[in-house]
Structure 1
């Protein structure tokens, strides 16, 4: 049976007497109808009464505290803090607006051709000069992340089991929700991130970021069949991610998609890795699946826009190069892009960095 709550102060003395009588009847009823002894029933009733008194004291103290705070608030308003409160509400509205439309994120991607050598050449100065929110590095060729690169960033390294080869590194100011170093938990692709150091996938609140060092088909195209395995598997993987959240895909993709993307297309077609019909068609399949090559979208006719140059024959000075480094985004967020640039004057590797600024 539920206890009848004690009356509050404003009920008057008549109600108090009724309550006392009611409690007496309840106690008598319990003694008659239960197996409890009169002593036990009385003890339980007294315990309930003590608990109620404590709760009533808390309630009264709370009212007194609220009253004091109310008086303090009134004094603050009279002292001029009403203006501050209005300003605070404006700041809150601004925060809500940013939350709805996203925030601007600057991403740098760079094949460094060996992290230690790149740092000795001063390549890491780009962290200060460009102040990127995210840095995606490829071909790091290391098993540990230098401390100099970790200041202000969460860092994730997927290194190759084969010393001096491959490796991708992600530096990010915002900590991702989740980071994967392979296509997925059930990946059977022999060229995935497990052991080859080729991919890092970072999940954020509103998007995925993929940092990839796509396999080169090799001198004489000896690995072209393996490259096909990668391209087919990767296409299915990125399409699955895109069903959940939009994707920003960056890295050394080891393909010059169109003739405009390399200096000598005729002499390299189907002879040199990165410019075979197979590789180019697979990249077209990717774009046709709902993705956009950001730089080419913004610069459809720009020639001489390369990101890689051979170390031989003064290729960089002559600008005899290839565009192998990309930002590819889900088609539905291309309108969020604020800029995409090739930083061709930045030295430190046989590749140059590329940058993307996007609202995410």
Structure 2
């Protein structure tokens, strides 16, 4: 089975805008379609509390005619049109769909950050992990989130193999970003966030990219779009992951970044796994 995950940074813009960036985003969507995934996980949809509009649904149905849609959007008391997640999955599948609340602090549980698809033999769950923010204003809350999220995945893992994906907003090791020396206290590379991710893995989960590629360097999933040369210079971070329950690691066949061309920000990540 093939799974793809992508932080799209505004589904509305990607589907309806005529900007140069939107055109690049639609090119990435076409690349995803050509890869024919069984399931597509999308983060940072930035849709309203009512979810995709009629126009969004029309475009998605045109581009993904053989897929069903599940979405989770930010709702009050959280910010409007903020965060948000979506699954597209082949329409011959009939998963049970869950919208977890993990007892996270502040408005995090209302920000549409998680969706879980439950299949007969496994779970696929996606997350858009809260960013610690400028000056690390949300770091303390982020640490609580990391603990609660790890508890949630552990609960799922007791029942079935878990595939967990998304934008985890952390570069785990120094080899997961181009300039670790410059980013010691940057959001996404603090000791606290890295420790939280280490603790998550220690509960029985495998980083599939490292499982396949070992200690390879220079392979990233995000480049800062505010820095024009970040991608051409490959000054990136690996903050998007496919995790799998340890007992399913030997079933992984591929874990890769998908080429998104010149478009900066996140690139999609792909997982091929034999779950039969």
User: Which of the five TM-score ranges fits, normalised by the shorter chain?
Assistant: 0.7 to 0.9
Quote the Cα distance in structure 1 between the aligned partners of 2:159 and 2:87.
22
Shift of 1:171: 0.5
CA contact (8 A) 1:192 1:230 kept: no
- Answer 1 or 2: which has greater strand percent: 2
Match of 1:134 in 2: 39
Match of 2:119 in 1: 204
Quote the Cα distance in structure 2 between the aligned partners of 1:324 and 1:288.
18
Matched, 1:221 2:136: yes
Change (3 A) 1:207 1:347: farther
Change (3 A) 1:176 1:239: farther
Match of 2:93 in 1: 175
Match of 1:109 in 2: 5
Secondary structure of the corresponding residue to residue 226 of structure 1: helix
The equivalent position to 1:276 in structure 2, one of 174, 190, 203, is: 190
The runs of 5 or more residues in structure 1 that have no matched partner are 1-104
Match of 1:51 in 2: none
Quote the Cα distance in structure 2 between the aligned partners of 1:253 and 1:160.
18
Change (3 A) 1:191 1:152: farther
For residues 205-256 of structure 1, give each alpha carbon's deviation from its aligned partner in whole angstroms, at most 9, with x where no partner exists. Answer: 1100111100000011110011011111111111010000010000000000
Between 222-231 and 137-146, the greater mean CA deviation after superposition = 137-146
Change (3 A) 1:191 1:322: farther
Match of 1:263 in 2: 178
The equivalent position to 2:14 in structure 1, one of 109, 118, 126, is: 118
Match of 1:3 in 2: none
Change (3 A) 1:287 1:355: same
Give the RMSD, CA atoms, in angstroms: 1.7
Shift of 1:191: 5.9
| Aligned positions, number | 252
The runs of 5 or more residues in structure 2 that have no matched partner are 16-21
Quote the Cα distance in structure 2 between the aligned partners of 1:211 and 1:334.
18
Quote the Cα distance in structure 1 between the aligned partners of 2:261 and 2:43.
16
Question: When the two structures are superposed, what TM-score results if normalisation uses the length of structure 1?
Answer: 0.67
| Larger RCO (CA within 8 A; separation ≥ 6) | 2
Between 296-305 and 140-149, the greater mean CA deviation after superposition = 140-149
Shift of 1:317: 1.1
Quote the Cα distance in structure 2 between the aligned partners of 1:192 and 1:239.
23
Change (3 A) 1:215 1:176: farther
Matched, 1:295 2:209: yes
Secondary structure of the corresponding residue to residue 146 of structure 1: helix
The equivalent position to 2:57 in structure 1, one of 129, 146, 165, is: 146
CA contact (8 A) 2:231 2:264 kept: no
Shift of 1:194: 4.1
Match of 1:44 in 2: none
CA contact (8 A) 2:171 2:194 kept: yes
Runs of 4+ residues deviating >6 angstroms: none
Quote the Cα distance in structure 1 between the aligned partners of 2:182 and 2:209.
25
Quote the Cα distance in structure 2 between the aligned partners of 1:310 and 1:343.
17
Quote the Cα distance in structure 2 between the aligned partners of 1:288 and 1:212.
18
Change (3 A) 1:267 1:193: closer
Q: Which has the larger radius of gyration?
A: 1
Quote the Cα distance in structure 2 between the aligned partners of 1:321 and 1:140.
22
Match of 1:164 in 2: 81
